[in-house]
Amino acid sequence: MSAEEPSARYRFLRGLALQSRKVQYGLRRLESAFDAWTGALLNVALRDAEKEALSIDLYDASFLPENDHHGLYPWETDWFERRLPSPPASILIGAAGGGREAAALRDLGYQVRAFEPSASAFRLCERRLGTDLAVQASYEDFAAAVLRGEETRLRLSPDARFDAALLGWGSFGHVLRRADRAELLRACDRVAPKGPILLSIFEPSVKARTNGVYYTPWGGFLAQPTFEELDEHAQDLGRELVVSLQSPSSYATLIPRV
């Protein structure tokens, strides 16, 4: 039996579908090229502090509460079970986003306090946790308050202590200068001297970068610190570094040496 000849209607619609596929592929390539060009331009034109500010603004403009994930990812559940002290331990969570991690840990019985610089993400975080547990503040505010005793939006005293410090998913990479990353970890060590410091590094699926810095149109600039750098930070703080490779993030724990 011979195959039935395609109808004129099928041939027309098939051609339309194939042409649509070509157009969409071309648009994606054009979008990727434009993002790479924009990132390269901004990387040259902006200072590091401006890049970090822009990253917060882009995240703020891109954040949609309805797209925010609820609960912990499986790799986070495993990580937290292995590295966090048992509830009701107190945890300070920086760059908490919409409060996803903070709310999940609170529901597990932890005492949490969170801060987030993006206004749109903070509003959701505040709804989830309440005004007493969430503050709109940045890592810069955190370091200034803890290490230098400055009055910031965080309203955290230099003698505040927690059982652990958690830097929200992928947020460590938004701190672009190595010296600032070291300062951030010193602040974490100051508030959780006997507890673990947990951080993760987001790995963009598109490896377009300029001078070691990635740019994404939804989240701005991201550095990707090496494990060698993290190990040096850990040693400077008298801590041990434990790392794990996990897509889309690599995550690390800085544990006080006994």
248 against 116, higher pLDDT: 116
| Residue 158 CA to its chain's centroid (Å) | 25
Task: Say if 119 falls within a structural domain.
Answer: yes
Task: Say if 81 falls within a structural domain.
Answer: yes
Which residue range is the domain that position 25 belongs to?
13-45
* Residue (of 141, 142, 149, 210) closest to 176 by Cα position: 210
Distance CA 151, CA 145 (A): 6
CB-based contact 163:91 (threshold 8 Å): yes
Distance CA 82, CA 105 (A): 14
Task: Say if 52 falls within a structural domain.
Answer: no
* Residues 135, 179 within the same domain: yes
Task: Say if 248 falls within a structural domain.
Answer: yes
* Residues 76, 17 within the same domain: no
Task: Say if 27 falls within a structural domain.
Answer: yes
Paired sense of beta strands 197-202 and 209-210, if any: unpaired
* Residues 99, 155 within the same domain: yes
Reported pTM:
0.87
* Residues 39, 68 within the same domain: no
Provide the domain count of the chain.
Answer: 2
* Residues 79, 175 within the same domain: yes
* Residues 119, 41 within the same domain: no
* Residues 198, 165 within the same domain: yes
* Residues 163, 89 within the same domain: yes
CB-based contact 81:63 (threshold 8 Å): no
Counted residue by residue, the chain has a size of 258
Distance CA 118, CA 116 (A): 6
| Residue 185 CA to its chain's centroid (Å) | 15
* Residues 32, 122 within the same domain: no
Per-residue confidence (pLDDT) for residue 1, from 0 to 100? 44
The CATH number that applies at residue 108 is 3.40.50.150
* Residues 144, 250 within the same domain: yes
Per-residue confidence (pLDDT) for residue 246, from 0 to 100? 63
* Residues 41, 67 within the same domain: no
Three-class SS of residue 167? strand
- 4-62 pLDDT per residue, tens: 778 999 999 999 999 999 999 999 899 888 888 898 899 999 999 999 999 999 999 99
* Residues 34, 92 within the same domain: no
Task: Say if 80 falls within a structural domain.
Answer: yes
* Segment 84-109 mean pLDDT: 97
pLDDT of residue 119 exceeding 70, the answer is: yes
